[in-house]
Amino acid sequence: MSQVYKLIREARDESESYWMEAAKAVSWYRPPGIILNDDRRPFTRWFEDGETNTCYNAVDRHVEAGHGSRSALIFESAMTGRSEVYTFSQLQDHVARTARILADLGVVKGDRVVIYMPMVPEAIFAMLASVRLGAIHSVVFGGFAAKELAKRIDDAKPKVVMSASCGLEPGRIVAYKPLLDSALVLARHKPECCLILQREQAIASLLEGRDLDWERCFARAKPMECVPVESTHPSYILYTSGTTGVPKGVVRDTGGHMVALIQSMRQVYNVQPGNVFWTASDIGWVVGHSYIVYAPLLVGATTIMFEGKPVGTPDAGSFWRLIDKHKVDVLFTAPTAFRAIKGQDPNGVFLKKSDLSSLKALFLAGERADPDTIIWAKEKLNVQVIDHWWQTELGWPALATCLGLGDSRTLAGSAGRPVPGFDICVVDDDHQEVEVCKTGSIVIRLPLPPGTFPTLWQNEEGYRKSYFEAHPGFYNTGDAGFIDEEGFVHVMSRTDDLINVAGHRLSTGGIEQVIAEHPDVAECAVLGVHDVLKGQIPVGLLVLNTGVKHPHEKIVSEVITRVREKIGPVVSFKHAAVVTLLPKTRSGKILRGTLRKIADGDEYVAPATIDDPNALVVAKEALAKLGFPE
């Protein structure tokens, strides 16, 4: 750990020299002389006088260095059976010609481009083509409801929308074009043009004068060169749900973004040029931006784009077959994916059918990884399994086990220790650091490192108020947890998910951790429900492994006993029910806040990001049988 601690101290105490050294990994048109400008804290600016281009660093420089024949992008579609490999030279050609399409449509540096697409290579071409021009892309998760898409169009005000005729889900086709058409009727801002990729599964009608056929435009496009931009120039806007119902546009800059992502690939993931790195996520989320598209390509690694699911396309062995086929070195996915695989195939029968000898590490993030899932993955894969933590706003890992720095120590239940560059603390309501192992609000001391978010899109006041007012001098993560004696940080729940049971402050994540240890439980959610006597009490919803034959009542009784024995009677955990599925966002996060409102009888609106609306119906029925709301 000495190397990690040394770099943590260096990044904290000598931050400018530390990040100046890291910036050498980026190719600059004009190298930065000013490393950090913190005069308008919290609006920190990194490398502000530097000039560079993200697409050049991710694609062109590898071709110029003689690596054009190396695999850059592998596309696998479990939905269509399509499998393609693009070299860096081929990727350069596709991206440069896509950039020319945008340029011919009048897109210039600073213009916004909304990308509303399924998981197909053209979506990556679109992202890279935008930054090639100095345009600012905003990717909206494919299949998002028209109303939510319209909100993002109105906020970003794009010159062009890039979309596709449809997306593919197990057993169904999602027609994107009608959703886009509806969104453009609702939106006050009207883009000048929509570029539509026609997929044979559902050919869309094009509106004359507004819609253009992607492939026809591409066929006549000539390559376009990269446009130099300032380091502080926005590379993209990524919207995250706001508490008022208005989406918050997280802005990512250019230079700091690249420096941080390259540093993370080297330090955290230990990925080298030529390695195969697979992030099983979606480009609509920050994980897809950072670790499907930009970070792997920036370091010259091969990235995989997968159109499919961990189960159901067609079975629980899809991940293992892909790792075997492409000799994946590192896999990064959400814990919910592994819980789904474990639930369908608890004994790892499908896993044994593939050669996974290439796999060196599994990284989990996006939802808290319960120890039971980590232990199962370690036993079945026989590799390092690392839970790490970050957020849309942060852009890259803040907590992890840094494999590239020789660190290998993990602790089930913890997301690791701070990554060099992040000064993480736990504070109480009075902004004072709490004692070891005491739960409080997880915060990050300012300034935030490069690669995080310098502001919200056209909303400086919202930026300041949402993230920096609660604890002056710190970024408020909105998460709760504690730091143990060895410096491991335990992210237990969202701050809103801390519950107060008869004066005792408890974490729903801690209760979930105990429940998940039951051998029949695939995944679970615990929510704090209003109680007249105790203030709040915990209520659990459990999803069981496939093929479980034990009576549900027996499992529920055993789970309640386990919580009482391991946490204590003070937790007052007496209510739990088995459900067939839990309501989640499309990125895999369980909708605990919505469940809590249902149990309390409060008004709620199903989030636009919900994966399966029927899951809320199932949960509501289960809570009603338990007597909630009272």
Q: What is d(CA 355, CA 322) in angstroms, rounded to the nearest whole number?
A: 10
Give Cβ neighbours of residue 100 (< 8 Å, ≥ 6 apart). Answer: 221, 222, 223, 224
Q: Are 423 and 433 a contacting pair, CB within 8 Å? A: no
Q: Does the pLDDT of residue 12 top 60, yes or no?
A: yes
Q: What is d(CA 280, CA 307) in angstroms, rounded to the nearest whole number?
A: 9
Alpha helices in 307-416 (DSSP H): 318-326, 335-344, 371-381
What value, to the nearest 5°, has the Cα angle with vertex 146 and ends 142 and 152?
Answer: 75
Q: Are 204 and 88 a contacting pair, CB within 8 Å? A: no
User: pLDDT digit string (tens) for 468-484?
Assistant: 999 999 999 999 999 99
Q: What is d(CA 265, CA 220) in angstroms, rounded to the nearest whole number?
A: 37
Could you list the beta-strand ranges (E) of 215-311. 229-230, 236-240, 248-252, 276-279, 302-307
Q: Does the pLDDT of residue 148 top 80, yes or no?
A: yes
Query: What pLDDT, on a 0 to 100 scale, did the predictor assign at position 243?
Result: 47
User: pLDDT digit string (tens) for 242-296?
Assistant: 544 578 999 999 999 999 999 999 999 999 999 999 999 999 999 999 999 999 9
State whether the Cα torsion 450-468-135-223 is positive or negative: positive
Give Cβ neighbours of residue 435 (< 8 Å, ≥ 6 apart). Answer: none
Q: Are 57 and 44 a contacting pair, CB within 8 Å? A: no
Query: What pLDDT, on a 0 to 100 scale, did the predictor assign at position 501?
Result: 80
Query: What pLDDT, on a 0 to 100 scale, did the predictor assign at position 372?
Result: 87
Give Cβ neighbours of residue 280 (< 8 Å, ≥ 6 apart). Answer: 306, 310, 319, 331, 332, 333, 334, 337
pTM of the model: 0.86
Residue carrying the six token digits 């600012």: 136
Beta bridge partners of 83: 76
Q: What is d(CA 547, CA 349) in angstroms, rounded to the nearest whole number?
A: 14
| 630 DSSP assignment | -
% of the chain exceeding 70 in pLDDT: 98
Residue by residue, DSSP assigns 529-588 as EEETTTEEEEEEEEEEPTT--S-HHHHHHHHHHHHHHHT-GGG---EEEE-S---BBTTS
Span of 86-90, 147-151, 220-224, 573-577 with lowest mean pLDDT: 147-151
Overall average pLDDT of the 456-478 stretch: 96
% of the chain exceeding 90 in pLDDT: 83
Three-class SS of residue 463? helix
Could you list the beta-strand ranges (E) of 96-198. 112-116, 136-139, 160-164, 166-169, 172-175, 193-197
Give Cβ neighbours of residue 176 (< 8 Å, ≥ 6 apart). Answer: 116, 117, 118, 142, 143, 163, 164, 165, 166, 167, 204
Between β-strands 172-175 and 248-252, what pairing exists: parallel, antiparallel or unpaired? unpaired
Which amino acid appears at position 508 of this protein? T
Q: What is d(CA 162, CA 153) in angstroms, rounded to the nearest whole number?
A: 12
Angle between helices 121-133 and 88-104 (to 10 degrees): 60
Which pLDDT band holds residue 366 (cuts at 50, 70, 90)?
confident
Three-class SS of residue 495? helix
Residue carrying the six token digits 């044994």: 352
Q: Are 97 and 222 a contacting pair, CB within 8 Å? A: yes
Q: Are 422 and 487 a contacting pair, CB within 8 Å? A: no
Q: What is d(CA 527, CA 128) in angstroms, rounded to the nearest whole number?
A: 41
Overall average pLDDT of the 349-368 stretch: 94
Query: What pLDDT, on a 0 to 100 scale, did the predictor assign at position 307?
Result: 97
Token pair of 543 as six digits: 């999803």
Overall average pLDDT of the 108-124 stretch: 98
User: pLDDT digit string (tens) for 159-208?
Assistant: 999 999 999 988 899 999 999 999 999 999 999 999 999 999 999 999 99
Which phi and psi angles does 132 have, rounded to 5°? -60, -35
Question: Which helix or strand (DSSP H or E) is residue 437 part of?
Answer: none
Which phi and psi angles does 77 have, rounded to 5°? -115, 110
Token pair of 450 as six digits: 């490069």
Token pair of 273 as six digits: 């040029």
User: pLDDT digit string (tens) for 401-432?
Assistant: 999 999 999 998 899 999 999 999 999 989 99
The residue count for the chain: 630
Beta bridge partners of 590: 584
Span of 199-203, 333-337, 577-581 with lowest mean pLDDT: 333-337
Which amino acid appears at position 20 of this protein? M
Q: Which domains does the chain have, with CATH numbers?
A: 2-308+388-481 (3.40.50.12780), 513-625 (3.30.300.30)
Q: How far is CA 139 from CA 49, 127, 132, 195, 304, in A?
A: 27, 8, 16, 14, 18
Beta bridge partners of 526: 540
Buried-state track 485-519, b at ≥16 Cβ within 10 A, e below 16: eebbbbbbbbeebbbebeeeebbbbbbbbbbbebe
State whether the Cα torsion 144-148-150-156 is positive or negative: negative
Average pLDDT, the chain: 94
Three-class SS of residue 371? helix
